[in-house]
Amino acid sequence: MPSETLWEIAKAEVDKRRSHGSDGDGAEIGEKSVFFIGSKNGGKTTIILRCLDRDEPAKPTLALEYTYGRKTKGHNTPKDIAHFWELGGGTSLLDLISIPITVDTLRTFSIVLVLDLSKPNDLWPTMENLLQATKCHVDKVTMKLGKTNSKASAEMRQRKWSVMQKDHPDRELIDPFPIPLVIIGSKYDIFQDFDPEKRKVICKTLRFVAHYYGASLMFTSKSEALLLKMRGVINQLAFGIDKSDIGKLQAHSPMELWKKVYEKLFPPKSTSTLKAIQDPARDPQYTESEVDEMRIQKDQELEQYKRSSSKTWKQIELDS
């Protein structure tokens, strides 16, 4: 009997997944995506490595990185797959948010926003810029989904309100995030040494933000207990059912009021500072003529490729 070809193996794998059921709208069960965004050097990579049980040093994320994890539910059952995306650069690479979140992945997507508690002056603008950019893109993709699958789009809009009781007093004051959202305050070990009044403002502000967006909120540090709790929440997003703490939090102020209260104590740094991204290749102390000439040539080739790819994708968009 001849051995199976690669295509036959791939087809058998797809058929096996389909035989285990789907949600009825094309989104396969057992395959989810988690997108980590947040503060630059805030600990996103470390959290991902911990969740995947990878004992390796965390390296700086320069742009957008991808990895994945697998988990077996039981004996002789197919493994669930979790796709982990990470956006580097803090708020400097907002355009890259659109790459992992597509019509095909939207219904199985979750967002993890990691905020560095040790840098409170950057916390609000980082949170605001990233969540607004992500929400804007998700809304666009949801509208696009509605043109081809109105049922799935309607279910998504309904699902985002499912965590809020119909008679909840804050129902008219909040705006639940369109897809599951977890907010993690990192470096709590440094944060706990802050002035008590500053800690109180930061905690209350983050609790309100989580309440406003229908998100879960937690803190993490080098503490093993906090790391285990954080890992459990992330694994729930990646391999289980998402949940929210929206019904447990109490806040009655609009977002703009909280922003003013927070920024009065922690004024944000200039926008230019937030958007700046340091490129070691352009640092004068590393100048080397032959390498720099080759770099210029490759940059030009990359720009030409981008223009060519942009035309190709636009044509695909029109054809579809």
Q: Is pTM beyond 0.85 here?
A: no
Q: What is the pLDDT of residue 197?
A: 92
Q: What is the pLDDT of residue 274?
A: 47
pLDDT band at 269 (very low <50, low <70, confident <90, very high): confident
Q: Note whether 90 and 133 are within 8 A (CB).
A: no
pLDDT for residue 309 is more than 90: no
pLDDT digits (tens, 9 = 90+) for 195-217: 999 999 999 999 999 988 988 89
- Which residue did the predictor score with more confidence, 104 or 170? 104
pLDDT digits (tens, 9 = 90+) for 132-188: 999 999 999 988 888 888 887 777 777 766 666 666 666 777 788 888 999 999 999
- Which range is most confident: 96-110, 250-264, 279-293? 96-110
Burial tier of 96 (Cβ tally within 10 Å: 0-12, 13-18, 19+) = middle
The average pLDDT across 297-312 equals 69
pLDDT for residue 320 is more than 50: no
- Which range is most confident: 139-143, 154-158, 247-251, 287-291? 139-143
Q: What is the pLDDT of residue 316?
A: 47
Mean pLDDT of the chain: 77
pLDDT for residue 252 is more than 90: no
Tokens representing residue 183 in the block:
């907010």
pLDDT band at 76 (very low <50, low <70, confident <90, very high): low
Close Cβ partners of 127 (under 8 Å, ≥ 6 residues apart)? 113, 115, 183, 209
